[in-house]
Amino acid sequence: MTKIALLVVYNHRYDKNVERIEQLYKGKFSYIYHLMPFYDGNVDNVIPVYASSFHFQSYIAQAYQHIKKNGFTHYFMVADDMIINPAINENNLFSFTGIREDQCFITNLRNVLNKKDFWNYMFEAYKYNPYPKGTEIRNILPQYSDAKEKLLSQGFSLSDSDTITMVRSVLFFAKRKRLRVMKKAIKAIFGPKKTRYPLIAGWSDIVLVTDSVMPQFCTYCGAFGATNLFVEIALPTALALCTNQITTGNKLSLKYIRLLYQLPEKEQQDFYNKYEYSLSKLIQEYPQDFFFIHPIKLSQWK
């Protein structure tokens, strides 16, 4: 018998969205918690969390301490600006998605040195210091060699980067006049070519973690949060260090729109025109073979 905690993660304090999200999931999930940064209101199932939205893995570690004694078998974490398929509920989550009950789920896992992710992940990984003064996590995280072996065993490449890749990245962004990112790439050319801790990357806007994995996962999330590691490196690495029972979006039969704004402009506009910025219309006509659509800015939708 499963008992699922739905954790809705807010990057910013949007008190007005709590009731709207409650309406979306009420009757579908019995246990809903809102992880709201610096919340000081009086709604019982809103858990105040304290960290930067760039390190929201800390939100999860903090919230877990409030609810860990409630006997949950799974923790289902979703972004507050994401609309899950309205046909999904706590009783059919696994049968609908194809995720096994003994598996964790994250949308995507990939090598942190992925050339396409240079500006988002590689630079962040290179500058990361796992052992800053004042943060005693040396004995919390697995040792470097153990972490490397664990990630390699799951098929990730942890090879060092090279200057040629970095120079190509600079030229790529210069051509597109993305000056801020180009400056990051230039800085990285003269920086280290090896991370100080084995790391991977992934999209972290929807995650499912089993109870057996959750305590260690939250410990690692807390450690990475305390050392200011970017969440889309920290959370995937923490999960992969805890278990190899992980499935990802490309292994499911369901489709999803992770980032609407990354679609071609015409496709974006076609989407908005189809649903007329109406949540009711989106819910009523939701694509049956989709897992989720992200992001849906609730403040812009009727």
In this predicted structure, what is the pLDDT of residue 114? 59
Neighbouring C-beta atoms of residue 277, cutoff 10 Å = 13
Residue 215: asked if its preceding bond is cis (omega within 30°), the reply is no
Give the residue from 175, 200, 225 where a domain finishes: 200
Residue 149 lies in a domain: no
User: Is the pLDDT assigned to residue 119 strictly greater than 60?
Assistant: no
Which pLDDT tens digit goes with each residue over 230-256? 999 999 999 999 999 999 999 999 999
**Same-domain pairing of 228 and 282:** yes
Stretch among 49-63, 80-94, 160-174, 183-197 having the lowest mean pLDDT: 160-174
pLDDT range class, residue 300, cuts 50, 70, 90 = confident
Query: Which pTM value belongs to this model?
Result: 0.89
Contact 53, 11 (CB under 8 A): yes
In this predicted structure, what is the pLDDT of residue 185? 65
**Same-domain pairing of 177 and 41:** no
**Same-domain pairing of 211 and 228:** yes
**Same-domain pairing of 101 and 240:** yes
**Same-domain pairing of 83 and 185:** no
User: Is the pLDDT assigned to residue 169 strictly greater than 80?
Assistant: no
Residue 145 lies in a domain: no
**Same-domain pairing of 82 and 222:** yes
64 vs 52: CA distance, rounded Å: 17
**Same-domain pairing of 162 and 246:** no
Residue 144 lies in a domain: no
**Residues 202-223 as b or e (16 or more Cβ within 10 Å = b):** bbbbbbbbbeebbebbbbbbbb
**Same-domain pairing of 224 and 127:** no
163 vs 55, more confident? 55
**Same-domain pairing of 91 and 208:** yes
98 vs 250: CA distance, rounded Å: 12
In this predicted structure, what is the pLDDT of residue 244? 94
Here the CATH number for the domain that contains residue 8 is 3.90.550
% of the chain beyond a pLDDT of 70:
86
In this predicted structure, what is the pLDDT of residue 297? 82
Residue 232 lies in a domain: yes
Structural domain of 129: 111-134+155-200
pLDDT range class, residue 120, cuts 50, 70, 90 = low
Number of structural domains (the chain) is 2
**Same-domain pairing of 240 and 122:** no
**Same-domain pairing of 171 and 129:** yes
Residue 230 lies in a domain: yes
Contact 295, 282 (CB under 8 A): no
Average pLDDT over residues 100-128: 79
225 vs 234: CA distance, rounded Å: 8
pLDDT range class, residue 122, cuts 50, 70, 90 = confident
In this predicted structure, what is the pLDDT of residue 247? 97
**Same-domain pairing of 56 and 179:** no
Which pLDDT tens digit goes with each residue over 194-223? 788 999 999 999 999 999 999 999 999 999
Residue spans of alpha helices (H) in the chain: 16-25, 57-67, 93-97, 123-127, 144-153, 163-175, 179-189, 214-226, 231-242, 265-275, 279-284
Residue 260 lies in a domain: yes
% of the chain beyond a pLDDT of 90:
66
235 vs 7: CA distance, rounded Å: 15
